[in-house]
Structure 1
């Protein structure tokens, strides 16, 4: 089965990138159909209005926002690389960040599963096991979601415009994603769920130690 997949892997990769390109194009199409881009008089189409709005935007501001975004998510990439090194699956930081940034393209495909696939597939080129790639990626995503939800709760409590429903939803997400990342909890969950499917040696080193927790706080 694996040999057969290797044989067709170049075609699979072409299909994946085609899927990513289609998803990005679809997202752009959705943007063009937003109510905010519709001309009340019907004189201009959405693309023309979008280009007109972009002309009034400072290019330096766009570049700065893009740079800040790349640097910002880079901390999550650094945390993921650190998790791999922590569980004895070392990869270099430049290569790990490359895998992480490439995987961001997969987020445009519904389901978000392709982003995980792209990240792990790229990391396997430096001999990262599938199990290590999956568990570290899940832990990193949970940590990012938990810190984001925590920040949302804090800002919501400070803002008079935030409804109770919004704060409650953010608090619920904070609890659901925050409990698994507590030191010792994530390894326990993974070992309980994975003992029937994974070899015992792959369950010996799982992220979720006290060190991983504090490094996650640092990256957030």
Structure 2
């Protein structure tokens, strides 16, 4: 899954807007409210798409721009789904629950790797991993979730389904929350379930 955001950076006290950022990230699960994505805060993945989805000054990026887009692509099927929406931070208990559901080596990997930060060599985190594996590897003691690791919920406003065609006349169906003044006419704009509307887009 790819996550894209709009970065708002400050240079000499002035905002420089328009930098589009995209990362590849783990999509943990889907739920009625939206899509849950998880990762390490304070890393390039999240600080770049912050400085915006995950926390150095705890949601610094949400104050700047609390929106994100998710892209799912299945090349063999020539199918894709794009989700646009606003981002909400998961509770600590929800992040804890998912973190501790992962294999212990994955938990340790999240602790020892300060993602995207330069390191002297691979030995740096290999040594850290060995120390933590000795202490927590048998499962008798629970490895604390690092504060920089957490999850976010992307609450969808737009969901687009794409089906590729060999003649390039791809199918694109977009579901979205209705805007003020929208009136489904059954021709261009159609009424969907649960208050959503949908329309066919040109490829």
Q: Return the structure number with greater helix share.
A: 1
Q: TM-score normalized by structure 1? A: 0.23
TM, length-normalised to structure 2: 0.24
